[in-house]
Structure formats: structure tokens, C-alpha cells
Amino acid sequence: MMRSLYSAISGLSVNQQAMDVLGNNISNVNTVGYKSGRAVFEDMLSQTLVGSTAPSDTLGGTNSTQVGLGTSLAGVDTIFETGSMQSTSVNTDLAIQGDGFFVIKGAGSSDLLYTRAGDFRFDTSGSLVTSSGFYVQGWMVDPDTGELLTEGTTEDIVLSSAYQTAQAKVTSEASLAGVLDTDADPSIVSYPSLLHYADTGDSIFQVYSDDGANMDLADNESIKVKAHGTGMTEMGYIYNTSDVNLDLASDPQLLVYINSNPVTLEYGVDFNTMAELANALETQLNTAAGAADFSVAVVDGTINVTRNTVVGANVSIDSFSGSPLLAVAMSDLASVYDDAGDTKSSDEMYYESQIYAGRDFTTLTELASAIEEAIDGNVIPTDEFNVTYDSATGQFNYVIDNTLNSALGTLRLSGFSLDKAYSGTVFENNIVPAGAVIEAVYGTTDTELSNTFLRTAQDDDPLTELFTSSGDSLGLDATAILQFSAGVAGENLAGTATIPAATSTLDDLREAIAAYMGYDSATEDDVLQHIASLDKNSGKLQITGEKGSPNEIDFVKFEVVGSGTYDTFYDYYEYNTVQEAKGGTLTTSQTIYDAQGNAHTVQYNFEMSDSLDNVWKLTVSTPDDGAEISFNETTGNQVYMHFNANGSFNYLTTESGQRIASLSMNYDTGGGAGVVSDIEMDLGTAGKFDGIYISSDDSGITKAAQDGYATGLLESTLFNSNGEIIGYYTNGQVATIAQIATATFTNPGGLTKVGDTTFQKSSNSGDPAIGRPGTGFRGKVAAETLENSNVDLSTEFVNMITTQRGFQANSRVITTSDEMLQELMSLKR
């Protein structure tokens, strides 16, 4: 009976202890990093009433009969299940995601404690401590070397004065990356068009008159080749002064009234040529006079009637009728011829032949042939009229060569002109001078010249044979020497370009200018980039500079040394800037630092130097007073950047063309900080686009970097997932200051709770494995986060109910046992 009492008493005791565990769990339901406990029961020693027996041949085995003596508390387990994570706005709140403990220790103690509660803060001394004042352990960065000393033992994390300031760093490396815009315009200067004598093969549509006017001929325009009719001219091709054909084929009879008597002269019967008409009329007049008093001749396209003597009777020409146009042309001959010397002339009559521009002729030589063919054999006997074009003088030569037939006497060409169909007289006035008369007695020649025909100047034209656009000779004689000077990019070019006019062509001048301005090269195509071919530029000398405003042509100037005055040359040869240079530049700046942390400005100026060869000039300067800057390998402040055809960077050279293996820069502060020397400059890798490159994109710097900085003060700290404390300084530097330590145990359940939500190692927990978070099964650190208690209230309340029922049941065992004892005592009574 007493056994049940003692068993129940043990049951009351252990359930009371279990309730203590539950109460502690519930009281720490909001404790950061708290790990809940669990009470574990075990039964006590049992009393054996009957021992067990082994089976025999006759009986089976029997079990022992035992009565238990109650229960006891086997232990209280700590549940290390991770609690839920709660975000906070405190940057020193930490939580471990996974296994491990923060390592801490008390002031003046060498014993380490361990906790999951990461509600840390910095105290006034800069130490990272727990809410209870324990020092958080970890490793500090060596302030001199920047090395994190994780190989040694842990220490207090203290942001001492050594970490409050980031020491200034002198700049040792600098780099630039960006694009230089090649879409730039060069400056272009242009001189007025020059002219030269036209060539025999030049098109009539592309030549100019002697005053520089365009020939006003249209394609397929008709041109009448005209001259006074001569004795040999067929009357069927005769035109009156109104350019109307006499049309004798339709009405061939001319009726002449002489002394009131009608005389009929018929075309094709009595006459065919002008000379035959004159002879027929002369015969009729002498017949009427009864004597050879009259002579009738063809003079400059007219029929001239002259009474030479008065031997016979008086004669009068009363009128003309019949063929109307011929009668009108002859009407001025009507008169009384009664005195010697009486003379009358008919209207002028012309031979005309029509040719077409672009159809019968195009070139000047073809035009000469067309004119000759029209006149030859119709006005002048065959082969005795020649028309040629002389390219040496730019003139048409109209020649009567009267050396073939002595019977013809004097040959005369008058009234000669070319009359174009459409309006305008430039061509007409230039091709045949007004009033031109060509006359040659037998055995001689006579020549009449047209005005000068000109074309735009070409590269191979001599300098002494040039004309202005107004047709005036440029005036360069054999003694003239041309001198050319210019200014580019604010500097006058050294010396002058000199070339003698007597032995030079325009092409020689082009090459001399190109060489003088630095534009010459091995091929004509390269020269054409800068000094245009006059062949292709309408006779204009045009100079195109390098692209970009840094290559602006400031001025150009011609001078002439010689025996002449050369006024025409000076008046005419003034250039006009037809395009201003633009683009081709980029200016940027960069800040570097000296040993004292003082900031200095470096200005970079990129200028397009040679667009053809993809060369840019880089100039460095500084606006700082008293400071000087230079490139180490050049002893100056300029280098030249050479780029590949695809725009990628290629190499660097000095101004003299020497290649630079590696570029560095010196900056003399002019003050106590001394010289910032050997700053390694990185402008790009050859063949790549990782630095400065050229393109048609807009210019701009995409990246400018250097490794120096000024002195900075610690502004804020943050923790990363590795538990590192990252310091942010006012100079923009970011540095690792320290790293917190975490520890794991072989048996974390063996740790001893020592209050303040901390644990202490025990003989059964094993030694701590201390290391960096995220290594060796240690979890990573979450900043601005706390781990909540892992107490589950619902589980605790259920356990509380079962514990209460256990306690009640054990108390019932005691009261029941007591009643049984009372019944036993009552038997005695």
C-alpha cells in the first residue's frame, strides 16, 4: 500500500518540474534567440515480487512479477530548432540563417559564451556588445595593411579611432573610356572658277565665250550658217534679208520692164547662179542702150547695176515683177540710167544652210567641219575655204586659200554669221565677229578669227594660260613665281609653298599646296581628299582641311613675285570659305589626389588631327594655379592616339612619331604635396573597344576611373552575409573593418544555459568550432534581422494540459491509497 503512495508522490514531483519547464518556455516566448526546453520523464527502479523462470520440458517459462516504485525527471532537453526571422530597421541586429552561435564574452573574462540572440549595438567606446553588455567576438582588419586577421584568436570587435578615418591615397592609376565622334566637318576654302582655251574635242554645250558666259545653245537647236551670196551661189539657195527663201522653184520668172518693154528672165533657163542672173540683166540693159554701156556684178550679196559710159541710148529700169520675193529684192535697181557712173544695188541676198547642235555637231572640231561644209562650194569654191578650231588660241580660223584657180581672181566672203534659232546672242557673237570680211586675191590667203572659246580649267593646264571667269587673262607671265602661305588651327604654317608659273601646271600647284599644308601622300586619291581636282570641280581650286574644328583653316594667301603687276591675279584670287569646320573635339576632366589627399583637376582635350589616318591628338592640362602636368615619355603634355580602320584603339606616339610603349603622367602640385608621379594611364587595349575608340556616334566619356582618394571619416557601417562589418567613408571609400565569429558544436544540446540567453560549453557539448560565417556548416548572417524565440504556444498549452492531468491523477492515487489505509485501520475496531 505504501508503494502506491510513494509512486504517486514521485509523479506529483516530476509533473511539477515539467510544469516549471513549461512555465519557463512560456515566459520566454518573446525572448530573442531563446531556445525552448522539454522535460523528459523516466520510470524508477521496480520491485520484483516473483522472478522469471525458464521453460522446462513440462512447463513453459514465466515472466517476472514487478511493481514500479514511481517516476523521475530524466532531463530537460534544449530544442535548437531555428526560430522565425523578424526584419528590423537596426543595422546591428543580426541573425544566423542555419547552424551556429555568436561568440561573446563578458568584460574581464576569458570564458567565451555563445548565443543566438543577435540584438547587438555599438557602445560609446565603439565596441560591438550584446544588450547585456557582453563583447561580441570576431576578427579586426589590420588598419595598416587592410588584411582581415582571421587566422588568430578572436577578439573584441571595436571600431577604434584607427578605423574612423580612411587615410588619403595618392593616385597611381587612371583610365578613360569613351567614344570620339568622327562625324565632323572640315573647313573648305574655294577660289573662283578658272578658265582655259577650249580643246578641239570639247562639247559646244560645255564651253564659254571670251567673257566667260555660258554658250546659249540648246540641244537640237537649229543654226543658220549665213553669208552674202556670191557669183557662184545657186539662186535656189538664196534668202532675202528676212531669212525667207526666194522660192524660185515655185515661181521662176522675173519680169523686168526696161524702157517700158517687158523682159522675162527665167530661173533654170536664163540663169541659175547669181552671176548668171547678173550677166542676163547686163545683156538686156546693153541691148536696150545699143551699146556696151552697162556692167552688172555681184557685190557682197547684191546685184550692182552701173552705167559706165553714155554711148548708147538712155535706159531706164521701170520695175520688176513676176517671182515676188526676187522682184522685191531687185526693186531698188529700178531707176533711169542716163549718166555715166549711175549705180544702183539690189537688196542683200544671202546663202543659208541649216545645221543642228547635238545632231550635226557636238564638239568644236565637228562645228568647224559643219561650217566649212555649209560655205565650201556654195559661197567659196570647193577646197578654197577652210574652217579649223585651234586649241592653242581657243579660236576658230576662217581661211580663204585662193591658190587653186587663177581665173577666179579675188575671193571674198562677207555677211558671214551663224544665226541660232532660240533667243540669246552669246554663241552668235563669239563664233563670228560682227562685220567679218575675208578676202584674198589669187595666190594669197586671208584669215578671220572668231572670239576666244574657253572651258573650265583642268589639272594639266599651264599656269600661264589661265583666264578668270570673266574671260580676262589671269596675267601670270613667264617671270611669275607663286607663293602660298596659310594658317591652320591658330598657327601659321612654316615657310611658303613656291612654284614657278612658267613651267608649272595647275596639278603642280595642287601638289605644292598639298605638300605645304601636310596633305600630300603617295597616291592622287589621298591628295584629292584635300586639294580637289580642277577637272572635277568646275575649274575651282578648292582646299579641304582635316576634319574637325581643331584643324580649322584660318587663312590662305597667294602672292606673286615677277616683273609684272599681276593686278588681275590679286583682284581675282580671293578665296571664299564655303564650309566652316566643326566637331572633332572632346574635352573632359578628371580629379586625382596627391599624398595629402588634396584633389587636383586634370583636363583632357581630344582633337582630330588626321581624319584620313585616324589620328587624334590628346592634350592634358590643369586649371590649378602653379601646377604643371606632363606625360612622362614625351616630356610634354601632348600625345597622338592612332586608331584602326574599324575605330578600335591601336597605339600611341609622341609628336615626333615615336611609339609609346606605356603611357604615364606626372602632376607637379607646386605645393607641399610635391609631385604625383608615374600615374599609369590606361586609354584602351590595341584592337579592342575597352577604352577610347572612334565612331560616328556622339562624343562622350563613358567611364573615368582613378585609384586615389582624399581623407575620409567613417560615416556608417553595414553587415553583409559573411558577417563582415563594411565601413562607408565620407570620401566614397568602402572598406571591410571586421568580421564577427560564429561557432558550432558537435552536440549543441550539451551546452549549458548560463542566463542572458547565452550558453556555455560543457563536457558533453564538445569544443566550439569557431570560424567565419558561411564556412564549415556555419550559417550565413542576416543583417537587420533577429531570430525570434522558437517557443510554440499551442504546443506548450497542450503540454500544460497533459501535465496538469498527470498531476491530478497522481494526487488521486494518494487520496485513494489513504482511503484504503483507513479501511484497513477500521478492521481493528
pLDDT at 43: 85
The band of 670, judged by pLDDT with boundaries at 50, 70 and 90, is: confident
Check whether 365 has a pLDDT greater than 60: yes
Structural domain for 602, as ranges: 173-183+583-710
* 125-144 pLDDT tens trace: 999 999 999 999 999 999 88
Check whether 522 has a pLDDT greater than 90: no
pLDDT at 236: 95
Average pLDDT over residues 780-793: 94
User: What's this model's pTM, rounded to 2 decimal places?
Assistant: 0.65
C-alpha cell at 109: 573574462
DSSP strands (E only) in 232-330: 238-239, 253-258, 261-266, 294-299, 302-307, 315-322
Check whether 521 has a pLDDT greater than 90: no
Range of weakest confidence among 248-252, 294-298, 419-423, 795-799: 795-799
Residues 657 and 756 in one domain: no
Residue 717 lies in a domain: no
Of 687, 710, 733, which closes a domain? 710
Residues 344 and 370 in one domain: no
Range of weakest confidence among 206-215, 368-377, 630-639, 795-804: 630-639
Based on the structure, what is the number of domains in the chain? 6
Alpha-carbon distances of 647 from 179, 180, 283, 294, rounded to whole Å: 9, 9, 96, 96
* 451-508 pLDDT tens trace: 999 999 999 999 999 999 999 999 999 999 999 999 998 899 998 889 999 999 999 9
Residues 594 and 705 in one domain: yes
The band of 829, judged by pLDDT with boundaries at 50, 70 and 90, is: low
Residue 422 lies in a domain: no
pLDDT at 435: 86
SS (H, E, C) 33-44: CCCCEEEEEEEC
Which residue is associated with the grid cell 581624319? 611
Residue 552 lies in a domain: yes
Backbone φ and ψ of 8, nearest 5°: -65, -40
Residue 407 lies in a domain: yes
501: which DSSP letter?
S
Are residues 132 and 756 in contact, defined by beta-carbon separation less than 8 angstroms? yes
Instruction: Compare 633 and 684 and report the one with higher pLDDT.
Output: 684
pLDDT at 192: 92
pLDDT at 495: 86
Residues 496 and 558 in one domain: yes
Residues 434 and 473 in one domain: no
Q: How far, in Å, CA of 483 to CA of 368, rounded?
A: 41
* 711-764 pLDDT tens trace: 999 999 999 999 999 999 998 889 999 999 999 999 999 999 999 999 999 999
The band of 638, judged by pLDDT with boundaries at 50, 70 and 90, is: very high
Pick from 514, 576, 581: nearest CA to 549: 581
Residue 67 lies in a domain: yes
Write the CATH number for 699: 2.60.98.20
Check whether 445 has a pLDDT greater than 90: yes
pLDDT at 45: 75
Range of weakest confidence among 208-217, 442-451, 518-527, 716-725: 518-527
DSSP secondary structure string for all residues of 317-382? EEEEEESHHHHHHHGGG-EEE-STT-EEE----EEEEEEEBTTTB-BHHHHHHHHHHHHBTTTB-T
pLDDT at 406: 65
Range of weakest confidence among 5-9, 552-556, 752-756: 5-9
Are residues 32 and 757 in contact, defined by beta-carbon separation less than 8 angstroms? yes
Provide the greatest CA pair distance for the chain. 223
Of 577, 610, 645, which closes a domain? 577
Residues 602 and 675 in one domain: yes
* 407-420 pLDDT tens trace: 778 999 999 999 99
Of 577, 592, 617, which closes a domain? 577
Average pLDDT over residues 52-81: 85
Residue 354 lies in a domain: no
Residues 402 and 474 in one domain: no
The band of 353, judged by pLDDT with boundaries at 50, 70 and 90, is: very high
Instruction: Compare 463 and 63 and report the one with higher pLDDT.
Output: 463
The band of 29, judged by pLDDT with boundaries at 50, 70 and 90, is: very high
Instruction: Compare 14 and 449 and report the one with higher pLDDT.
Output: 449
Pick from 749, 753, 792: nearest CA to 26: 792
Average pLDDT over residues 655-663: 91
The band of 434, judged by pLDDT with boundaries at 50, 70 and 90, is: confident
What is the DSSP pairing of strand 692-695 with strand 173-181? parallel
pLDDT at 59: 87
Check whether 176 has a pLDDT greater than 90: yes
Instruction: Compare 8 and 425 and report the one with higher pLDDT.
Output: 425
Across the chain, what does the average pLDDT equal?
Answer: 92
Residue/partner pairs of 333-341 with CB below 8 Å, 24 or more apart = 333/303, 333/305, 337/285, 337/294, 337/305, 337/307, 338/307, 338/310, 338/314, 339/307, 339/310, 340/307, 340/308, 340/309, 340/310, 341/306, 341/307, 341/308
Check whether 542 has a pLDDT greater than 80: yes
DSSP secondary structure string for all residues of 634-659? TSSSEEEEEE-TTS-EEEEE-TTS-E
pLDDT at 825: 82
Residue 716 lies in a domain: no
pLDDT at 1: 55
Residues 698 and 589 in one domain: yes
pLDDT > 70 in the chain, percent: 99
Residues 341 and 265 in one domain: yes
Residues 449 and 466 in one domain: no
Residues 266 and 328 in one domain: yes
Are residues 655 and 636 in contact, defined by beta-carbon separation less than 8 angstroms? yes
Contacts of 616 (CB under 8 A, 6+ apart): 180, 606, 607, 608, 609, 640, 641, 643, 694
Q: What count of other Cβ atoms lies within 10 Å of the Cβ of residue 162?
A: 13
Alpha-carbon distances of 795 from 103, 116, 369, 661, rounded to whole Å: 30, 22, 126, 76
Pick from 485, 410, 482, 418: nearest CA to 446: 410
Are residues 262 and 317 in contact, defined by beta-carbon separation less than 8 angstroms? no
Residue 718 lies in a domain: no
Cα-Cα-Cα-Cα dihedral sign, residues 188, 192, 193, 195? negative
Enumerate the β-bridge partners of residue 607.
Answer: 585, 617
DSSP secondary structure string for all residues of 52-87? -B---SSS--B--EEEE--EEEEEEEE--PPPPEEE
pLDDT at 152: 78
* 147 CB burial (10 A radius; 0-12, 13-18, 19+): exposed
* 268-287 pLDDT tens trace: 999 999 999 999 999 999 99
pLDDT at 574: 87
pLDDT at 334: 97
Check whether 611 has a pLDDT greater than 90: no
Q: How far, in Å, CA of 268 to CA of 235, rounded?
A: 9
Residues 594 and 701 in one domain: yes
C-alpha cell at 409: 581672181
